[in-house]
Amino acid sequence: MPRWAAAAGRWGWRLLALLLLLLVPGPGGASEITFELPDNAKQCFYEDIAQGTKCTLEFQVITGGHYDVDCRLEDPDGKVLYKEMKKQYDSFTFTASKNGTYRFCFSNEFSTFTHKTVYFDFQVGEDPPLFPSENRVSALTQMESACVSIHEALKSVIDYQTHFRLREAQGRSRAEDLNTRVAYWSVGEALILLVVSIGQVFLLKSFFSDKRTTTTRVGS
Amino acid sequence: MAGVGGWRLPAMVRLTLLWLAVCVACARGLYFHIGETEKRCFIEEIPDETMVIGNYRTQMWDKQKEVFLPSTPGLGMHVEVKDPDGKVVLSRQYGSEGRFTFTSHTPGDHQICLHSNSTRMALFAGGKLRVHLDIQVGEHANNYPEIAAKDKLTELQLRARQLLDQVEQIQKEQDYQRYREERFRLTSESTNQRVLWWSIAQTVILILTGIWQMRHLKSFFEAKKLV
């Protein structure tokens, strides 16, 4: 085999290796999920985390009942890292002490007939960098570090907006519940009033119809 | 390539297997288990004209080996997306691994439901299916390296593009907030009106029934010669 072919072969494999490395999905990231938790149900989510990664779990109950849920976070050995009962909103940060599958569960088992909507945000490690093959040897220029700090600030703005939206959704669901309850209640109470007042009159008449008495008691 | 020696093939196979193993290990972090006929729904409250990209991957429980198989050929997942008015935006069947995309045209709660299409009970004897799910909304759905390559942007231009996308998302969210606040205000004013009318109506009914009661009873007692 000519030498150039062998050299081309070697470089071909190196290029392929490099391309494959670039295509490997980077670690870290966030999962934001809103799901419905039926009554008497428990739903669990799992994630494989490497040792030393800083993770944050944040959850909020949006609709349903007293807007509370049980939450439980366990490490790969089953040790409970975080456990709270009937919490409406909480945020928990921890550093993974060992490799493995971490599990967190939301439970609505204490509720008999209200299903809840729960939002959670599970952040594992840092967000992947903008440039996947970034091997920064040189420091960021002033413009670039300004961009990075603006990016971080905007991320926290978006995060606050999300929490505000969830609280507003909570308030709006309560207001809509109140509206429908007022509608049903007013119609129901008007009907009850009519039925009771007509019924009272006929009941009273029936007291005087049985026997002819001279009592002047007109009624309570 | 002429004369590729036998020693090269194992290297290629090893490299590909290594890459696959790494991909499997760190692909799409969060996962959960569902049963065979179980339907799992997720809600995304988003402003309008927002793109949502969902990636999922399924693994089946192998009862004999007591382990999750890396991929499940022949198993499909049905994905259904409904907009806030209940209209179906996307209803498609994907393979055991898939990616679905949709763009919202009305602001509000969009519901994304997933269930497996498996009808072969034998496959599901263990009853568990592991689903890796990753849903990215709005600005997070953008693939920046791809945008940089397509538009040939420098690093600084790419960072500026990312900041512009973030700011656009914030603006859309604030528009949505204004729309929601208006809905909330309408609901509160409707409740206020209803309570007002109800109290007036109740008072009127009370007075009318009181008057009717007294007149009816008076005529009754006069007839009975008690009064």
Contact predicate B201/A190, CB 8 Å: yes
Tell me the per-residue pLDDT of B179-210, one tens digit each, with 9 for 90 and over: 999 999 999 999 999 899 889 989 999 999 99
* Entry pTM: 0.74
**Residue A12 reports pLDDT greater than 70:** no
Helix axes B155-223 and B144-151, enclosed angle (nearest 10): 130
Give the best residue of A161, A187, A216 to mutate against chain B (max B CB count within 10 A). A161
Give the number of other CB atoms < 10 A from CB of residue A112. 9
Tell me the per-residue pLDDT of A49-78, one tens digit each, with 9 for 90 and over: 999 999 999 999 998 888 889 999 999 998
Token couple for B43: 């809600």
Residue A176 CA to residue B185 CA, distance in Å, equals 11
Read off φ and ψ for residue B102, nearest 5 degrees: -150, 160
Q: Does B43 touch chain A (CB under 8 A)?
A: yes
pLDDT class for B97, splitting at 50, 70, 90? Answer: confident
Of all residues in chain A, the one with the smallest CA distance to B138 is: A158
- Cβ pair B26:A44 closer than 8 A: no
Contact predicate B49/B105, CB 8 Å: yes
Residue B158 CA to residue B208 CA, distance in Å, equals 75
**Residue B27 reports pLDDT greater than 70:** no
For chain A, give the mean pLDDT.
Answer: 82
> A60, A35, A31: which is closest to A117 by C-alpha?
A35
Q: How many CB pairs under 8 A join A and B?
A: 185
- What is each CA distance from A143 to A18, A202, B156, B162, in whole angstroms? 30, 88, 8, 14
> A176, A174, A61, A29: which is closest to B26 by C-alpha?
A29
Contact predicate B207/B199, CB 8 Å: no
Quote the pLDDT of residue B4: 46
Chain B positions in Cβ-Cβ contact with residue A202 (cut-off 8 Å): none
Q: Which helix (H) or strand (E) segment is B206 a member of? A: helix B155-223
Contact predicate B141/B51, CB 8 Å: yes
- Cβ pair A130:B162 closer than 8 A: yes
Residue B219 CA to residue B8 CA, distance in Å, equals 113
Instruction: Pick B87 or B26 by higher pLDDT.
Output: B87
Least CB-CB distance to B166: which of A25, A144, A154? A154
Contact predicate B73/B85, CB 8 Å: no
> A121, A106, A103, A109: which is closest to A166 by C-alpha?
A121
Q: Does B121 touch chain A (CB under 8 A)?
A: no
3 state SS for B59-123: EEEECCCCEECCCCCCCCEEEEEECCCCCEEEEEEECCEEEEEEECCCCEEEEEEEEECCCCHHH
Least CB-CB distance to A9: which of B1, B167, B201? B1
Residue B14 CA to residue B38 CA, distance in Å, equals 38
Residue B12 CA to residue A74 CA, distance in Å, equals 40
Quote the pLDDT of residue A113: 84
CB environment B153-182: b (16+ within 10 A), e (fewer): eebeebbebbbebbeebbebbeebbeebee
Complex prediction ipTM: 0.73
Of all residues in chain A, the one with the smallest CA distance to B218 is: A218
Q: Where are the alpha helices (DSSP H) in A84-141?
A: none
pLDDT class for A217, splitting at 50, 70, 90? Answer: low
As a residue count, chain A comes to 220
Residue A159 CA to residue A143 CA, distance in Å, equals 24
* Mean pLDDT on B206-226: 88
Q: Does B168 touch chain A (CB under 8 A)?
A: no
Q: Does B196 touch chain A (CB under 8 A)?
A: no
Give the best residue of A32, A37, A42, A55 to mutate against chain B (max B CB count within 10 A). A32
Contacts (Cβ under 8 Å, ≥6 apart) of B195? A182, A186
Tell me the per-residue pLDDT of A97-140, one tens digit each, with 9 for 90 and over: 989 999 999 998 888 888 899 999 999 988 877 765 555 656 77
Q: Does B211 touch chain A (CB under 8 A)?
A: no
CA–CA min distance B139, chain A (Å): 11
> A61, A90, A53: which is closest to A73 by C-alpha?
A90
Query: A120 pairs with which residues across the strands?
Result: A33, A59
CA–CA min distance A36, chain B (Å): 7
B45 DSSP 8-state letter? E
- Cβ pair A33:B4 closer than 8 A: no
Type of residue at B168: E
pLDDT class for B24, splitting at 50, 70, 90? Answer: very low
